[in-house]
A and B are shown apart, each in its own frame.
Chain A
Amino acid sequence: MPRLSPPFEQRARDLIGLYPHPRSALVPILHLLQEQDGYLTEDGMAHVAELLDLAPAEVRGTATFYDMFHFEPVGKYLVAVCTNIACMLQGAYRLLDHAEERLGIAPGGTTEDGMFTLEDAECLALCGNGPCVTVNWRYFGDLDPDGFDALIDDLRAGRLDDEVPPHGTLGRVRRSVGTPGTEARVATEARTDGHSPAPAGAEPAAAAPAGAGQQGARPPVTLDTHRSTAAVSSVDAAHLEGLQ
C-alpha cells in the first residue's frame, strides 16, 4: 500500500509550513493522499501521521469524521446524488432510484468495471439547481433521469475529461502562496487523461494563467458555472491575481 510519493510528500511539507501548528495541515494533507490514491490507505495515513508527528489513530480519528474521505477504493467517477431537502422536493429520490438502476449498484457500491461509485449525499450546496449530483466533486445540476443518463454516457466516453478531474482532485488551482520556495504562482492540473492516480513524479504543471481552470468545453448538462469546491489547499484564483 502506497505512502505519499516524493512529490506529494513535498507538497505535504509545503502545506505544513503554512500553519503555526503542523497538525493543522492534517485535513489538507489527507486530501493530497486521496488525490494520489483515490482513497486513504492505511500506509498512507501512517505516513501522514509520521509527517505531522501524530499517532496514526489520531489521523484516522479525524479522517473518518469526513464523508469526503474514502477508506476503500472507489471507482474512476464518484457520483454523489444529493438527497437533502431542496433536492428531495425536486425529485432527488427519483433520481437516485434511477441512478441505482442505471448503474446497477446501491449507494456505497462500485460498478464491476470500476468506473462508478454511487453515493447519496447531504446538501451539496447547489440547492437552487436541484436535483443535483457531483462527479468527483464537480457539479451537475437540474438533472432528470435523462440528463443523468447523458451524463453517464459522456463520462464513459471521456467527453468530460476536461471538466471532471480524477477522483480525489480537490482544487484545480493549487495554493502556492506562502509555500516555501515558490513565488505567488498558479498551477493547474495539467492532466486531461483524467483517470489514473497521478503517476509518481507528476509535478504540478507549469504555471498557467489564473483562471485556467474555468476553461474547457461546456458539456450539455452542466451548469453555466463550474465552481470547484473551495478547499483549504486552494485559494481563489482572483486573489492570486491580485497578488501578482
Chain B
Amino acid sequence: MSEQSPTTGAEPRLAPRPYLTESAVGTAPPAAQADGAVTVTIDGRQIQAKAGQLIIEAADEAGIYIPRFCYHRRMKPVGMCRMCLVEVSGPRGATLMPACYNPVAEGMEIRTDSPMAKKAQEGVLEFLLVNHPLDCPVCDKGGECPLQDQTLAYGPGESRFVEEKRHWDKPIAISPLVYLDRERCIQCGRCVRFAAEVAGDPLIDFAERGDMTEVATFPEEPYSSYFSGNVVQICPVGALTAKPYRFKARPWDLEQVESTCTTCAVGCRVALQSSQGELIRMIGVDSDPVNWGWLCDKGRWGYEGWKGAGRVTVPLVREGDQLVESSWGEALAAAANGLRSAMEKRGGAGVAVVGGARLANEDAYAWAKAARLALGTDNVDAQLGDGLPAEVLLGLPRATIDQAAAAPLVITLGPDIKDELPVLYLRLRGAVHEQGTQLVEITPAPTGLTRYASETLLYRPGEAASVARALVAAGSGGGDGIDRARAHIARAGQKAAPGAPSIVVILGRPSLAEGEGGVVAAARELAGLPGVAFLSALRRGNVHGALDLGLAPGVLPGRVSLEEGRAWFERHWGAGLPAERGLTTAGILEAASRGDIGALVLLGADPLADFPDADLALRGVLGAGFVVAVDTHLTESSRRADVLLPAAAWSERRGTFTNIEGRVTWLGQMVTAAGMSWPDWMIASELSARLGVDLGFARIEEVWEEIARVSPLHRGLPYDLLAGVSHRDGIVAPVGAEPVRPARALDPMADPGIQSAELHKVVSTSLLFSATSTVPEPDGQAPGNALAPAGGPPGGEQEEAPAPPAFLRVPAWDGVVAPPVDTPGLRLVSRRTLWDGGTLVQNSPSLAGLAPEPALRVHPSALAALGAADGEAVRVVSERGSLSVAAVGDPEIPRGTAVLAWNLAGARAAGLVDAAAAATAVRVELADGSGGQGGGDGG
C-alpha cells in the first residue's frame, strides 16, 4: 500500500455498507435486463444495447463518444445539426445516419471514425462555421464551448467560405436576464425545444427560417420564463448568455464544487462556481431522480442575494435602539445572559426556538440538541405556521419525485407548484406529457398546473376536506368533476406498477390564508385511498431536514417522537430531555405575546414578514422580552433582535440537505463565510457552551459522526460518498432502505461548463465510521438494534443498548376534523409567487425587479357588483387589517374567492390573516370607502 497521506491520518476504516452498489463511477446504471437486447458493433466493438435505444445513447453507455450539438438526453431528438452522423452498414451498403435520431437494430455495424464519417463531421463543422463570427476571445462560452471543442477535435481546420457572413445586432436582450447573440447561434434548437417541450413556455422560436433563421421572441413579449436560465446553460455556443454572469469570468479561472440548491425544497443538484473567492455562477447538474439538470431562475441566480449588501457579517448587540457591532465573545455572552435570565424565570418553557429551514441538516441537529439540552425546551419549530404538522408530513407513507412522475395518478393538494417548487413542476408537467400521468388538482384557485390537469376541483377556502371526502367516498355524486376524478382513482389502481404507489398525493398548503386544519383533515381523507403515498410540497429550503433532525415540537432527530425517542436520546446525549411537548410557532408567538416566553431565538426566521398572521407575529416578537436572531440578512424581524449573530450562508459551509422526498444530498462549500459569520452548528455549540452545556462538537466532522451514529434515520449515512460526485443523487432516508447506486456520468456537451475537475476533498472519513459500527441491512425496515453506538453510551459502561426508537407513524387521526367555516362573503386565497418581496429576491439585483405588481384577482362579477373598474385601486379589509391594492377581474377565479399573492411589496397579505381562523374573510371596498363587496356586513 502507498504511504499514508499526512492530512487524513489513518486509512479510513469504513464499515461495510451493503446497501451501496459499488460499481465504477462513469458507467450508467445497469440496463434494464436482457429482454429486447440487441447486439451492435460500434467501431469494431461488440455492444449490447436495448432495442429501440438511439445509437448515440448506446454509444454513450459503451463509452464511445459521438460528437453532437442538438442532441440532449433530456429532450426529444430532432436530428437537426447533423453533427452526429455515423456510418452504418446495412444490407444496402454503407450510409450516413444521424446517431441521435436512429435506433439500434440487431447486427448493425456502426463506425464513428471511418473516412466517410470523418468527412461528414468535417463537412458539418465547416458548414456550421460558415456564418459563425469566431469571436471566441470575447465570448463567455470560450473555453467551455462545445462548438470550440468539437471543432478542434472533429473539424477540418480550414474553411472554404470567403463570402460575407450574416450580421445582426448583438447581443439583444430577450428577457431581463438573458441575452441573445444571433451571429453565434448554430440553430441547434436546444433553446426553443427546451422552452416548448420542457418548460411549456414557448416564448422563443425560430423566425425567418431559411438562410436568415434566427431565434426570436414575439415583439414586446420577452422570454420571461421561470426557467430561462436553462437555455443559457444548454446552448452549445455562446449565443445565449446570462446577464448576471456576462463577462464576469473565464471558464478556466473558475473553481467548482457540486452542491444542492437550497432556495426551495426540491433540492436541485448544482455546480457552484467561483472566481477569485466570489460565487459567480451556478449550473444545474443532471441528477436522475431530482432535477435532470434543470434549475429555476430563482435557484440559479439567487446566489446574488447571498453576497449582497444586505448580508450581516458582524455580530450585532443592541444598545438602546441601535444594533452595534460587537465581537463574537461579547455577542455570545449577551445572548447567553438573555437566555439564562428567561430560563431562570420560567425554565425551558420560557424560551423558544423558531425557524431552521435555512440550516443544513448538521446545523439543525446541533440546534435540536442545543434547544433540548442547553435551553431545556421543546419549544422548537422550523415551520412558520406556513406548513403542516410534523407528524403528518413525516408520518404518512412517502413517495419520491420519480414515483410521483411514474404514478398513474397524481393528486395535488398544495400550493402553486410552478411558483413554489419550480423544478418539481417541470417533472410533473413532463410526466403528464410523456407518461400520460393523470393529474387531479384540489385547489381553491387555478394554478400553473391547471392547464395540464385532467380535473381541477375547486373548493371554497377552508373547505378542502369536503372535496377530499367526496373524492374518497364510494359511489357517485358530488358533481361531474368529482365523478371523473373518482374514475381516475379507480383506473389508477389497475395501472400501477407492482410495489409502486398507484396514487401520489402532493401535499402542502394550498393557501396561507386558510388554516392548516382543513388541509390536515383533507389529507386524512386522501390517506384512505388505496395505494397512496405522499410527496411533501413545503417549499422552504431545508425544512424537511430541519424536521427530520428534530426542529419540531415533540419530534427528536431521526423522525422519532419525543416520547418514543426519549430513552434513546437521553442515553446518547447523556442528559434529561424536556418533560413536556413544546409549542408550534403559532403557539410560541401566542405565548410570547402573553409574556410567557421570555426569550426567543430566531434561526433565519422572519416571522414579521412570513408568518401568516402579521398581527400575531408582531405581538409575539414584541412580547418576547429578549430576541436572539441567527441570520444571514437584516430582515424585518432580525432588525428588532437584541443580539444578531451572523450565520454562514449556503455555499459557505459544508453539510447535507434533505429535500421534499427525504433525500439527503451534499452541500458543498465554495467560498469562505462572509465577514465574521459562522456556520450555525458552531453558533449552537458555542452558545450552548456559554450556557454550560457541551454539545460535543468542535469540528463539523464530529456532528457528522454523531448524526450517522445516533439519528435513527441517518445511521450509517456515508458522508464520505455523498461528498463525492459518484453519489450526487444522494440517499433517501431512512438510510439502508433502498440500495444506492453511483450516479450516471455527465455529458459535457449536454450541460457545458460543468468541469470534470475533481471536487474539493472535503471529508476526512477516518472520523466517521469506526470499525465496530455496522450498517443496517437494506431490508426496508427501520434499523434494527444491531447498531451499537460506536463510542458506547455516554459515561456508561458497555451495557445492552436499547433498541432505537420507531419512526413517526401516520398520525392518530382521531380528533382530526375539518374546522367549521362560517365565513360569509369573499374568502381570501394567498399563495407565494416565485418572484416576491422576500429577502433572497430583493437582495439579488438581477431578480429584485421581476416581482410583479400586487393585484387582487377576483371574478369579474365581483368588480361589477362593486362598481370598480378593472385595475382600479380598492381596499381589502379583513377582521385583522386592511390594505389597498389594484383589483383585477379574472374569469378563472371562482366566484366568492379573491386571490392575492402572499408577499409582494405594498400588499402584504399576512396583514389580513388570522392564524386561528379556518379561512380569511375579506371585504372589498372602493378606495374612497364606498360600496363594500363580499363581506358579512358589506354589499
Q: Taking beta carbons and an 8 Å cutoff, which residues of A are in contact with B?
A: 42, 45-46, 54-62, 64-65
Interface residues of B in 210-225 (CB under 8 A from A): 210, 216-221
Asked if B204 CB lies within 8 Å of chain A CBs, one says yes
**A64 in complex: contacting residue of B196, B203, B209, CB < 8 Å:** B209
Closest 7 interchain pairs by CB? A61-B205, A56-B218, A65-B209, A55-B202, A64-B207, A57-B218, A57-B205
Task: Please determine whether A61 and B221 come into contact, CB atoms closer than 8 angstroms.
Answer: no
Task: Please determine whether A60 and B207 come into contact, CB atoms closer than 8 angstroms.
Answer: yes
CB distance from A78 to the nearest CB of B (A): 19
Chain B residue at minimal CB-CB distance from A66: B209
The answer to whether A42 and B216 touch (CB under 8 A), given A55-B205, A58-B202, A65-B210, is no
Task: Please determine whether B218 and A46 come into contact, CB atoms closer than 8 angstroms.
Answer: yes
Q: Is the contact region of chain B dominated by helix, strand, or loop, or is it mixed?
A: mixed
Task: Please determine whether B220 and A57 come into contact, CB atoms closer than 8 angstroms.
Answer: no
Residue of B203, B206, B218, B220 ringed by the most chain A CB atoms within 10 A? B218
Task: Please determine whether B201 and A60 come into contact, CB atoms closer than 8 angstroms.
Answer: no
- In the complex, chain B residues whose CB is within 8 Å of the CB of A59: 218
- In the complex, chain A residues whose CB is within 8 Å of the CB of B434: none
A-B contact pairs, 10 of them (CB 8 A): A42-B219, A54-B202, A56-B221, A58-B202, A60-B218, A61-B207, A61-B216, A64-B207, A64-B208, A65-B209
- In the complex, chain B residues whose CB is within 8 Å of the CB of A61: 192, 205-207, 209, 216
CB distance from B201 to the nearest CB of A (A): 7
Task: Please determine whether B202 and A57 come into contact, CB atoms closer than 8 angstroms.
Answer: yes
Chain A residue at minimal CB-CB distance from B206: A61
Known contacts A55-B205, A57-B207, A58-B196; can you find 16 more A-B pairs with CB under 8 A? A42-B220, A46-B218, A54-B202, A55-B202, A57-B204, A58-B202, A58-B205, A60-B205, A60-B207, A60-B218, A61-B205, A61-B206, A61-B216, A62-B205, A64-B207, A65-B209
CB distance from A58 to the nearest CB of B (A): 5
CB distance from B194 to the nearest CB of A (A): 14
A46, B217: Cα distance in complex, Å:
12
The answer to whether A45 and B218 touch (CB under 8 A), given A54-B202, A57-B204, is yes
CB distance from B549 to the nearest CB of A (A): 44
A54, B204: Cα distance in complex, Å:
11
CB distance from A90 to the nearest CB of B (A): 26
- In the complex, chain B residues whose CB is within 8 Å of the CB of A46: 218
A212, B612: Cα distance in complex, Å:
71
- In the complex, chain A residues whose CB is within 8 Å of the CB of B216: 57, 60-61
CB distance from B205 to the nearest CB of A (A): 3
- In the complex, chain B residues whose CB is within 8 Å of the CB of A57: 202-205, 207, 216-218, 221
A58, B207: Cα distance in complex, Å:
8
Chain A residue at minimal CB-CB distance from B200: A55
Contact with A along B172-200 (1 / 0, CB 8 A): 00000000000000000000100010000
A62, B202: Cα distance in complex, Å:
13
A158, B208: Cα distance in complex, Å:
35
A42, B203: Cα distance in complex, Å:
15
CB distance from B195 to the nearest CB of A (A): 8
A45, B202: Cα distance in complex, Å:
15
Chain B residue at minimal CB-CB distance from A56: B218
- In the complex, chain B residues whose CB is within 8 Å of the CB of A58: 196, 202, 205
A46, B219: Cα distance in complex, Å:
10
A10, B218: Cα distance in complex, Å:
25
A115, B331: Cα distance in complex, Å:
83
CB distance from A48 to the nearest CB of B (A): 11
- In the complex, chain B residues whose CB is within 8 Å of the CB of A60: 205, 207, 216, 218
Chain B residue at minimal CB-CB distance from A67: B210
- In the complex, chain A residues whose CB is within 8 Å of the CB of B204: 57
A58, B210: Cα distance in complex, Å:
16
CB distance from A140 to the nearest CB of B (A): 27
**A42 in complex: contacting residue of B201, B205, B206, B218, CB < 8 Å:** B218
Task: Please determine whether A55 and B203 come into contact, CB atoms closer than 8 angstroms.
Answer: yes
Chain A residue at minimal CB-CB distance from B212: A64
Residue of B196, B201, B203, B207 ringed by the most chain A CB atoms within 10 A? B207
- In the complex, chain A residues whose CB is within 8 Å of the CB of B210: 65
**A55 in complex: contacting residue of B206, B207, B218, CB < 8 Å:** B218
Chain A residue at minimal CB-CB distance from B174: A57
CB distance from B475 to the nearest CB of A (A): 36
- In the complex, chain B residues whose CB is within 8 Å of the CB of A62: 205
Chain A residue at minimal CB-CB distance from B210: A65
CB distance from A65 to the nearest CB of B (A): 4
A54, B203: Cα distance in complex, Å:
9
Chain A residue at minimal CB-CB distance from B202: A55
- In the complex, chain B residues whose CB is within 8 Å of the CB of A65: 208-210
CB distance from B541 to the nearest CB of A (A): 32
Chain A residue at minimal CB-CB distance from B201: A55
A65, B276: Cα distance in complex, Å:
47
A31, B192: Cα distance in complex, Å:
25
Residue of A45, A46, A61, A62 ringed by the most chain B CB atoms within 10 A? A61
Chain B residue at minimal CB-CB distance from A59: B218
Interface residues of B in 783-808 (CB under 8 A from A): none
A60, B209: Cα distance in complex, Å:
11
- In the complex, chain A residues whose CB is within 8 Å of the CB of B209: 61, 64-65
Interface residues of B in 760-782 (CB under 8 A from A): none
Chain A residue at minimal CB-CB distance from B205: A61
CB distance from A33 to the nearest CB of B (A): 15
- In the complex, chain A residues whose CB is within 8 Å of the CB of B192: 61
- In the complex, chain A residues whose CB is within 8 Å of the CB of B221: 55-57
A65, B219: Cα distance in complex, Å:
16
CB distance from B74 to the nearest CB of A (A): 21
A65, B205: Cα distance in complex, Å:
12
A46, B205: Cα distance in complex, Å:
14
A145, B205: Cα distance in complex, Å:
42
- In the complex, chain A residues whose CB is within 8 Å of the CB of B207: 57, 60-61, 64
- In the complex, chain A residues whose CB is within 8 Å of the CB of B220: 42
CB distance from B821 to the nearest CB of A (A): 36
Contact with A along B703-728 (1 / 0, CB 8 A): 00000000000000000000000000
A62, B205: Cα distance in complex, Å:
9
- In the complex, chain A residues whose CB is within 8 Å of the CB of B206: 61
A96, B409: Cα distance in complex, Å:
64
Chain A residue at minimal CB-CB distance from B196: A58
A64, B216: Cα distance in complex, Å:
11
A60, B192: Cα distance in complex, Å:
13
A64, B205: Cα distance in complex, Å:
11
Interface residues of B in 387-437 (CB under 8 A from A): none
Residue of A57, A58, A61 ringed by the most chain B CB atoms within 10 A? A57
- In the complex, chain B residues whose CB is within 8 Å of the CB of A54: 202
CB distance from B198 to the nearest CB of A (A): 14
A42, B201: Cα distance in complex, Å:
19
CB distance from A27 to the nearest CB of B (A): 13
